[in-house]
Structures are given as C-alpha cells and as structure tokens.
Structure 1
C-alpha cells in the first residue's frame, strides 16, 4: 500500500513553532560558543605572554570588526546560558512540560537574551 502524502520541501513556507526555533538556536549557540573558546584562549595567551603581548591583544580588541565578533560571541553565550537554564528548570520540574509553558519559556529566554545582547553591545562600545 503506497501512501500519497503531500511533501513540502520549501523551508520558507514551513511555519516552525517558537520551541523548535529555540532548540535550533540553542544548538547553534553551543557550536559558536565551542568555536569561540579557541579564539578567546588565543587572545588570553597573547595577553599573558608579556606586556607587549597585552598591548597587542588590547589593540586587536579595539578594532570595530573584532568588537562585533566579540559581541556575537557574547550574544551566543548569553543565549546558550538562558536556554540551558530553561532546560534545567524543565528537567527539575520547576517548569511544566506542555506546549503553552514551553512556548512561553522559549519566548522568555529569547527576550532575556535580547536584553543581555543589548547590554553587551553597550559595554563593548
């Protein structure tokens, strides 16, 4: 028996729920945070090598492009932490695991990340 089901492969027309978007963003922010550890450790090793190394790291961090990358790293880290706390609260039973509460907690995590991202931008610039 062959089932004739409609197949929609156009990703632009699929309406993804907020919880799915939050889950995808949490994974992406984890990858960005993991990759950023190498960059941040490199900058730390330069800054701790000598006084000249510290000045070189300070010069690198004063560039607008590097500030934007650093802001992106901080935003990814903030979202990953907010999403991780959301998951921990759900795992420990402090947040119910139903669609309405999951949607609301995902929205709260995204809004909190937006506020933290703005604060990080203000601190960097």
Structure 2
C-alpha cells in the first residue's frame, strides 16, 4: 500500500502565439493564397478606379473636341500607368473569378490542380497586361 505513485510525464503542449504584422513576410503563402489575395486587391482597385474610368468614358463620348482632349490626356505617362493598373486589375479579377467559379463546381480542388490553376491565372493576367502595356506605350 505504500507504493510510490508514478506520475506520467506531461506532454509538451504546442505554443501558439499571435503573429505580428512585421512577421508576416516570414511565412510563405501557397500560390493559391496569393492569387486569392490578389483577387481581392484587384476588386478594390477596380472599384477605386471606377470614377476615373467613367471620367475617361465621358470625355471620349461627349464631342469631337473632348475626344481630342481625351487623346492628349491619355498620352501622359502617369495616366498610362493608371490605365495599365486598371487593365491588370480587370484581367486578374476576371481570370481569378472564373477560377473561383470553377472551384465552386468542385472541379480542381486538390492541391496539384489548385496550384496549376492559380499559376495559369497569374500567367494569363500578367501576359495580357504586358501585351497591353506594349501597345499602350507604343512598342507595337
């Protein structure tokens, strides 16, 4: 009756800690997560640049004189960069949106095909944006 009671060794519990904003760059996101984050950013960019797009549309349709003013306005490099940012946002948002719609149909949910589809979204949106940039800046 006087046997010593054996105490089982305690297991080390994993330590969960809060992540600070400065530590976010230490974590590597999968490609699908990056595409999803960029999808949100492109949606915000489209919404934020909507007044600029409507202004350009209004100026191009008002009259011949305002269209000539519009053509002069679009030649500024900063305006071209805004247009290029909008083109990237539209391209990326469209391709990532189609990817998300296909995934809603339960197609391509496994890890390998999700990685391939996210790489395709990035490749398509960046390739088409580069082609528009070459046309916009007068390379061809």
Q: Give the alignment's TM-score, normalised by structure 1.
A: 0.88
Q: Deviation per CA, 1:71-99, whole angstroms, max 9, x where unpaired?
A: 11101110011101111122234x32122
8 A contact 1:36–1:73 mirrored in 2: yes
Moved more, 5-14 or 28-37: 5-14
**Structure 2 residue 40 is matched with structure 1 residue 27:** yes
Distance in 1 (alpha carbons) for counterparts of 2:124 and 2:15: 44
Distance in 2 (alpha carbons) for counterparts of 1:99 and 1:108: 14
Can you give the 5+ residue segments of structure 2 that lack an aligned partner in the other structure? 1-12
Dislocated runs of 4+, deviation >4 Å: none
Distance in 2 (alpha carbons) for counterparts of 1:6 and 1:35: 35
Distance in 2 (alpha carbons) for counterparts of 1:67 and 1:104: 31
Residue of structure 2 in register with 1:5 after alignment: 16
Coordinate RMSD, CA, aligned: 1.8
Whose helix fraction is larger, Structure 1's or Structure 2's? 1
Distance in 2 (alpha carbons) for counterparts of 1:57 and 1:79: 26
Residue of structure 2 in register with 1:42 after alignment: 55
Residue of structure 2 in register with 1:96 after alignment: 108
Can you give the 5+ residue segments of structure 1 that lack an aligned partner in the other structure? none
Deviation at 1:59, TM superposition (A): 0.8
Q: Deviation per CA, 1:22-80, whole angstroms, max 9, x where unpaired?
A: 11000000111122222111111122222221111111111111111111110111001
Deviation at 1:110, TM superposition (A): 0.5
Q: Give the alignment's TM-score, normalised by structure 2.
A: 0.80
